[in-house]
Amino acid sequence: MSDDKVVGIVLVSHSAEVAASVAELAKGLAGGAAAVPVAPAGGREDGGLGTSAELVAAAAATVDRGAGVAVLTDLGSAVLTVKALLAEGDELPEGTRLVDAPFVEGAVAAVVTAATGADLDAVEAAAREAYDYRKV
């Protein structure tokens, strides 16, 4: 699969380390998924804990390949940050969608599904279905 028209994934966490680690884990479990653009957007610009609209917007621009961008978040204010960007209308690439999914399992499902060349609706559905994963 080429990089053309593949869904991009942005992982928004309050911690830069968590966002980067989940991105690494998701890509690794997806067999590397080299063609799937995944970008972490964690923490604040100063390196502290929190979320940054600027980091989220930059990450979304980095992964945009024209097939949409799925954004997964860890906690409440990360959701609010993404919702605010979506409401502004011009800060995120067209076709950017906030996906309601568990952060780790949803990220893995999203990257694996995007690696198949699936569209944004299928990537979102796979990530959302991760809520149903049972561990015992």
Instruction: Cite the active site residues.
Output: 14
Around Cβ 124, how many Cβ atoms within 10 Å? Answer: 24
- CA torsion angle for 68, 70, 110, 118 (degrees, to 10)? -20
Q: C-alpha distances in angstroms, 81 versus 18, 55, 116?
A: 17, 10, 29
Distance CA 101, CA 9 (A): 13
Structure tokens at 133: 């994963």
Phi-psi region of 58 (alpha: psi -120 to 50; beta: other; left: phi over 0): alpha
